[in-house]
Structure 1
Amino acid sequence: MTKDQAVPAEVENLLHDDDNIDNMYLTFAIGEETYGVPIAVVTEIVGMQRIMTVPDVPRYIKGVINLRGKVIPLMDVRLRFSLDERAYDDRTVIIVLELAGSPVGLIVDRVSEVLEIAEDHIDSARGVGGGGESQSLVEGLGRVGENVAIILNTGMLVSDAELSMPEAVSA
């Protein structure tokens, strides 16, 4: 499999269109649900690669990859949401985000599309979930036609405490 095999061409094109990022979200699927992250924090989408495991990290941190000389920690979003683990397939991809100056990769079941969701089509997530951590992961609920995309709070999803790698790895 090539690195870009599972990425739809229109998604790849929109990732590099800097004039078109306001209210734009990269959507992806975990199971049957659709989630979104702001396109402004997405740097690229790559196919699955050899993952080097790292000891003493949370279960949902699968390890790191070396992507063109950059060590990128990987989070399996399924496991982060306490869902059942499933085998990676040809549609499984890594969404690379740039957060607070550091790259992080999200392993997702499949990338869907880039959607423009106007602010007035994003409802508050208050009252969704049981409160606590699960609520803080959801920034809002974006209405797109008859569908809803769960907009994730990327800061909470990949907080520094969870992605802290041992010094030897992150250096």
Structure 2
Amino acid sequence: MNRYYGLFMGTAIPFKHLKKIIRKFNYDYYDKASPERQQHFIEIIPEFHISHSNYPHHRVECIMVEPAFLNRFLEIINNLNFTFILCHYSHGHFQTTMNGNELSVTCYRSLEDIVYLILEDEEDIDRKFANQLLTLPLEKQFACAPGIKKSEDYQHLLDTWVKEVLAYPAKNA
């Protein structure tokens, strides 16, 4: 069974509708498939980056998609009002310190070889950086770049992004 992360990024993710879609794929397709067929399904582990949205108190379950229906699943998801990025299962963590704040990010690599850095809120103790991110347009709330492979390139992307976020209000005041 292949496993991927599904990054859900948006300002108002329609969880009620999303859960209906997940139920359809998990219960109507996966649960009714033979054990032999189930072994070939793709498991998508949801990860959320939500700005100005009510995150549900309960977790959204993994999504089980048969490879033959992956394109249809992506088509359905991409027609909703948020961004969905399918990423490789393996990911990493990077840290930086700016203005005395230690910040950590989780790194995801999309199937198209684009790296995404998402802030880990729990590391931002006073929430200054996290709160500042929420004032920015969604596309500025994470960092991304194609083809990064070396640790120093990840670190450069992180440091550059944090500096841009910290400078953003000054540029646009």
TM over 0.5: no
> Which structure is higher in strand share?
1
> Which structure is higher in helix share?
2
Q: Which has the higher contact order (CA 8 A, sep 6+)?
A: 1
